[in-house]
Structure 1
Amino acid sequence: MPKARAEKRSRRERRGGGGTGTGTGILFNTGAGQHILKNPLIVNSIIEKAALRRTDVILEVGPGTGNLTVKMLEKVKKVIACEIDPRLVGELQKRVQGTCLANKLEIKVGDVLKTDLPFFDACVANLPYQISSPFVFKLLLHRPFFRCAILMFQREFALRLVAKPGTKLYCRLSINTQLLARVDHLMKVGKNNFRPPPKVESSVVRIEPKNPPPPINFQEWDGLVRIAFVRKNKTLSAAFKSSAVEQLLDHNYRIHCSLYNTEIPENFKIAEKIQTVLKNTGYSEKRARSMDIDDFIRLLHGFNSEGIHFS
C-alpha cells in the first residue's frame, strides 16, 4: 500500500472510520467483548421488559458508549455503570456532561468481577460475553436481593440457562442457575444490531432471584453437581468411581468424623460407602442429563446424612 494511502487510512481509523470504530475516535476491542448495541428498537425493548421504576437504582455492566445508559437515566433515580475501559468511560461522561442526567450517573471504573457489587434494584446490561458465567453467579449470590436482571448473552449461553432436564443443552450452568432463580428467554437479537457485529447471535434473558433462596449450602450443592456433570451421560455410579472424587470425599468424610468424634472402622472404604448411598437413594443408574433440582436435593441429603460432604 502506498505510504500516503496508508497514512490516510490510519487517520480514518483513529477518527473511528474503521470497521470497529464508534465514529468518535474509539476503536472497539472486540477481544474484550466490546460490541455496542446500536439498534434503538432493541434498546427500547430491553428497557420495556425491565419494567423500570422512577425510584430504581440500576446496575449496568459494560455500558460502552451509553446507548442503553442514557435511555435508562431518563426513567430511573440512578444508574451505576461499571466499565473497565477508561476510553469508554470518557465517552460516557462526555455524553451526559452538562445535562440534567449527569448527576444521576455513577461510573465505577474497573473489573466488575473483582469488586463488590453496590446496592441496586435491577441489573440491565449488554454484558461482555466472556464474563457471562462468573457474573451470573456473582449476581445470584449477591445480597441484599435485587428485583430482576435483564441481560444480553451469546445465544447458546442463554439457551443453556433455560435448558430443561433431558435436553441437549442441559448442563451444570442450567441447574445451578435454576436452583437460585427463575429464568426466562425474552428475545433473540441478530448480530447486525451491534457495532461491530459479533461472530455469534445473541439473546436477552430475564433472571429473577428466588427470595427466600432454597435452604441449601450452595458450595455443597455445586460440589455434587460438578461431579455429576463432568460426564453427564454417564451413570452416577460410574461418575463417582473416579479416583479424584473418591479421594476428595474420603478426605471430607474423615474431617466430618473427627469433628463429631465418630470412629472410622479399620477396613473402611469410601468407594463402598458412596455406592451404598447411590443405591439407597435410587440414583445409582441415573444420569445427570435427566435429573432435575429435586433429584439432586434428595441425593445431596442422602450423602450428607451419611456424613459425606462436597465442600
Structure 2
Amino acid sequence: MGKAKTSKRGGASSTPYDRPAKNAAANNVFKFSKDFGQHILKNPGIAETIVAKAYLKPTDTVLEVGPGTGNLTVKILEQAKKVIAVEMDPRMAAETTKRVQGKPEQKRLEVLLGDVIKTTLPPFDVCISNTPYQISSPLVFKLLSLPNPPRTCVLMFQREFALRLTARPNDPLYCRLSVNAQFWARITHVLKVGRNNFRPPPQVDSSVVRIEPKLGSERPNISFEEWDGMLRVCFNRRNKTLRASWLGNKEVLAMLERNYRLWCATNDIPVDDTVADEEDDDNEEMEVDENVPPSAGDEEEEWGGIMDVDGQDDDMPSFFKESMKTEIPKTKSKRKKTRVALLVKEKVRKVLEDVTELADRRSGKCDENDFLRLLAAFNAEGIHFS
C-alpha cells in the first residue's frame, strides 16, 4: 500500500481547505507603521456602529482622518454624499482608492495625501475618524477652532484620553483638557472598543466619543489663547488650592507682572516702577500650600504636544521629605521688588479672595462657570493671558 502524500515544509497549500499558516499575519501586504499609529479596525460591527452614531444625512460631506485600508470609508459612502479622506501613508491612500475603483462610489471619494493637522481642510459637515493616538489632542482642537466647525464628530481615541475628554469636576481624570474641550463642545461617550478589534492590536483599549461643537450663539466669545493661558496656571497641579497656584509661584507672578505692564503700555496707563519700601517687601513671603498628598491625576499627560503642562513628578525619597520638615530660614531675595509687582500681587489676591472667593478651591473641583468668573475678574483688573 502506497504512502499518503505529505506536503513539503514551507510548501504551498495543496487544497483550499487547508488551514492557513500560523505566520500568515507576517505575510500581510503592508508592514504597519508605528510612526503613523496604524491600527486597522477589523470589526465590521463596530464600524457600522460608529457610522450610525454620526446620524449622517444623504447630503453630508464627511471628513475621515486616517482611513487606512478603507473599512470605515466604504461604510460612510453608503450613507453620505461625499467622503474626504486625509491619509499620510501613500500605501494606505492607494488601498482606500482601490476599494472603490470602478464603482459608483469612486466619484464620491476624495483622498488628500498629507498631515491633517497641517492641511487646510475644505468645508465638511461631519468628521469620522479612527484617530492615530499621537494626534488626538491636536485634531480635537483643530476641529473645534475651525471658523465653521462640523455639525458633529465621531472619533475613536485611546480610552484614557476619551475618559479625560468626558471627565467632570471631582473626577480623578478631570484636567485642563476636560475643561477646554467641554467649554467649546458637548461631548458624550459612545462605546468602549477592545484592543483585539484592531490589526495589529494596540497595547491599550479604545473608546468612541461624539463631539458636538457649540455653534452660533452657544459658541463662547472668548479668546482660546487667553482662556487656555489661565487654565495652564490653574491646572499646573490640580490638587493645589488656587491661592497656592497663583500667589505661591514666583514664575506665575513674574508672568502676570509682564502681562500687566504690556496691558498698561497698550492703554497708556503709567506704572509705578519705584522700589517698594522695606516694610512692604518684608511681607512678601511666598505662600505655601497645605500638605497635599500627591496623586496620579496631579499632572496631565502630554497628548500630542498640545495639552502638555509644566508639572513635576513627586519622586522625592521619603527620608528626604522627613529632613525637609525642619524649618530652614529663607534667604531674602537680592532683587528689589517694585511697587507695580506688589500691585499685581494685590490684584491677584483681591480676585481670588474678595471677588470670586475661589482662593481655597482646587482646580479639580471647579467647573467652567468658576473659571469664567475667574477670567472675568482677572480681566477687570487688567490682567490678561495672551
Provide the alpha-carbon RMSD of the alignment. Answer: 1.7
What corresponds to 2:252 in structure 1? Answer: 245
CA distance in 2, matches of 1:297, 1:181: 16
Matched, 1:258 2:229: no
| Alignment match of 1:36 (pick from 31, 40, 65) | 40
Partner Cα distance (2:369, 2:153) in 1 = 25
Task: Measure the CA separation in 2 of the matches of 1:149 and 1:138.
Answer: 12
The answer to whether 1:271 aligns with 2:345 is yes
Note if contact 2:143-2:149 (Cα within 8 Å) is conserved in structure 1: no
Q: Any conservation in 2 of the 1:127–1:151 contact (CA below 8 Å)? A: yes
Partner of 1:82: 86
TM-score normalized with structure 2 length: 0.74
Q: 1:136 aligns with which of 121, 133, 140?
A: 140
**Alpha-carbon deviation of 1:134?**
0.9
Which residue of structure 2 aligns with residue 115 of structure 1?
119
Secondary structure class of the residue paired with 1:231: coil
2: CA distance, partners of 1:173 / 1:196: 28
What TM-score does the superposition give when structure 1 sets the normalisation length?
Answer: 0.92
- Distance in 1 between the 2:385 and 2:199 partners? 44
Confirm or deny: 8 A CA contact 1:117 1:142 kept in the other structure. no
Q: Deviations over 1:82-127 (max 9, x none)?
A: 0000111111111111111111000110111111222110001100
What is the deviation of 1:145? 2.6
Counterparts in 2 of 1:39-54, with a 5 A limit? 39-54=43-58
Shift of 1:298: 0.2
Unaligned runs of 5+ in 2: 1-8, 13-22, 275-338
Q: Quick one: which amino acid aligns to residue 268 of structure 1?
A: V
Distance 1:30 1:115 in 2: 21
Q: Secondary structure at the match of 1:246?
A: helix
Select 2:234's aligned residue among 228, 233, 237: 228
More helix by share: 1
**Equivalent residue, structure 1, for 2:108:** 104
**1:74 Cα offset (Å):** 1.7
Deviation at 1:264, TM superposition (A): 1.7
* CA shift digits 1:214-242 (9 cap, x unpaired): 12221110000011001010111111132
Corresponding residue for 1:293? 368
Query: Could you tell me the percent identity over the aligned residues?
Result: 53
Residue 205 (structure 1) aligned to one of 190, 194, 209? 209
Larger radius of gyration: 2
1:17 is displaced (CA, Å) by 3.5
Aligned residues: 296
Residue of structure 1 equivalent to 2:167: 163
State whether structure 2 residue 304 is matched by structure 1 residue 304. Answer: no
Structure 1 residue 284 displacement after superposition:
1.2
